[in-house]
Amino acid sequence: MLQQHSISIQTQGRATIDISAEVERLVSASAIDCGLCHVFIQHTSASLIITENADGNVRRDLETYLSRLVIDGDPAYLHDEEGPDDMAAHIRSVLTQTEVTIPIRDARLALGTWQGLFLWEHRYHAHRRSILITLSGADI
Amino acid sequence: MLQQHSISIQTQGRATIDISAEVERLVSASAIDCGLCHVFIQHTSASLIITENADGNVRRDLETYLSRLVIDGDPAYLHDEEGPDDMAAHIRSVLTQTEVTIPIRDARLALGTWQGLFLWEHRYHAHRRSILITLSGADI
Amino acid sequence: MLQQHSISIQTQGRATIDISAEVERLVSASAIDCGLCHVFIQHTSASLIITENADGNVRRDLETYLSRLVIDGDPAYLHDEEGPDDMAAHIRSVLTQTEVTIPIRDARLALGTWQGLFLWEHRYHAHRRSILITLSGADI
């Protein structure tokens, strides 16, 4: 069994968005019992992370940390046509993930209890982001 | 051929643990000749890396580097209920890998000569960590 | 359908090299219509990234950024037998990717418009780098 789905997520500017439930729905609908779920974001200024899903402060702290590690509008950047968040967004993407694979077990995403899958928009402004999801495995 | 295995690794606090041999054993037992081995850690305060397997100083230096890059107990962290290593562990996980896929070739993990697969415990205290391994490919 | 290919890329020292076209050629030749393309570099001092493919300044800025984040020849490094870029290369690899999976859709790599796949050589000198590519999916 092999399935591919394209979804699009509307962001509201720099922030993380929990997409676990949306991906889980595709897994449930697929009738795959055991296998893999591959999630790929087709952009270089937004990325994916798996992190703690319970306390929103974790994602606030991640943003605080990353915006300190990767300075917006650093005068060293040559690539700055689209503003101070342009090159910073590309760096932030490279330091996190463009794609993740999550196991499917018992017809569900096998995330740990405290794990969620998040899209991280790195640009200041809202964007529509395309994600391609490929499910493979053995049927129920 | 598709197989899924759950293993658990006991850590002794912040350090790296070579899990290459344990994963290789599952590959050998699977009778898969050519394919992929997906390794997924079901936690957000421990992670996976592939790095140099010969000189233990490489992993000592990685720890020195990462503990300087991600300050334990940074007063900027809001998420600090479980101590100074709590939020630092989540950041360290996001900057490394929650999951890796390694090719299977000639019925073995196709790691390079100097590559090993390591679990990196980011918390100070010992933890039991769950890892889900999904093997897929063509039989011998 | 499952295929595995080994390719080797000659680097000229620290720099990024666009390998998208080379990987795309293998996808085209495979006759896989829908599936996944897994790319694995068998080294710990060179790595892979997906980033912006249009403006070369993006990769210049990534190099500026990473060489500032990971200091060559830091006196804190114990592993320095092969020079100031030795341990820095291992750290740079761990902060980026050893392997990436890209969806195959309509018999092509489903990279976004602005995405390219790059090998990042982290050593100062030229090296021959081995990459293992595993293609899986459904035939046309």
- Decide if C94 and B62 are in contact by the 8 Å CB cutoff: yes
Chain segment B16-58, per-residue pLDDT in tens = 999 999 999 999 999 999 999 999 999 999 999 999 999 999 9
What residues of B are in contact with residue A51 (Cβ under 8 Å)?
Answer: 44, 90, 93-94
Global ipTM: 0.97
Query: What ranges make up the beta strands (E) of chain C?
Result: 2-10, 15-18, 32-41, 46-52, 99-105, 108-109, 115-121, 128-139
- Minimal CA separation from A40 to chain B, in Å: 14
Q: State pLDDT tens for residues B90-135.
A: 999 999 999 999 999 999 999 999 999 999 999 999 999 999 999 9
**Does residue B140 carry a pLDDT above 90?**
no
Contact call for residues B100 and C98 (beta carbons, < 8 A): yes
Q: Residue B139 has what pLDDT?
A: 86
pLDDT at A139: 86
**Any CB–CB contact under 8 A between B124 and chain A?**
no
- Crossing angle for the helix pair B84-95 and B56-69, nearest 10 degrees? 110
SS3 call for A92:
helix
List, for chain C, all residue ranges whose pLDDT scores fall below the cut of 70. 140
DSSP letters of A12-80?
-SSEEEE-HHHHHHHHHHHTEEEEEEEEEE--SSEEEEEEE-S-HHHHHHHHHHHHHHS-TT-TT-S--
Distances (CA, A) of C118 to A26, C21, C48: 30, 10, 6
Cα C131 to Cα C7: distance, rounded to the nearest angstrom: 5
Q: How confident is the model at residue B10 (pLDDT cuts 50, 70, 90)?
A: very high
Q: Determine if the pTM surpasses 0.95.
A: yes
Diameter of chain C measured on Cα atoms: 55
Please give the single-letter amino acid code of residue C76.
A
The answer to whether the Cβ–Cβ distance between C78 and B69 falls below 8 Å is: no
Residue B56: count of CB within 10 angstroms of its CB:
13
Q: Select from A49, A58, A138 the Cβ nearest to the Cβ of B2.
A: A138
> What integer pLDDT is reported at residue C139 of this predicted model?
86
Q: Which two tokens stand for residue A76?
A: 């060293």
Look at residue B78 and tell me whether its pLDDT is greater than 90.
yes
Record: contact B137-C2, CB cut-off 8 A: yes
Q: Which of B49, B52, B53 to mutate to test the interface with C (most CBs of C within 10 A)?
A: B52
Cα C116–Cα B42–Cα A26 angle in degrees, nearest 5: 65
Distance CA A77, CA C63 (A): 10
Give the chain A residue nearest B69 (alpha carbons). Answer: A69
Cα of A77 to nearest chain C Cα, Å:
6
pLDDT in tens, chain A (140 residues): 999 999 999 999 999 999 999 999 999 999 999 999 999 999 999 999 999 999 999 999 999 999 999 999 999 999 999 999 999 999 999 999 999 999 999 999 999 999 999 999 999 999 999 999 999 999 87
Phi, psi of A84, rounded to the nearest 5 degrees? -65, -20
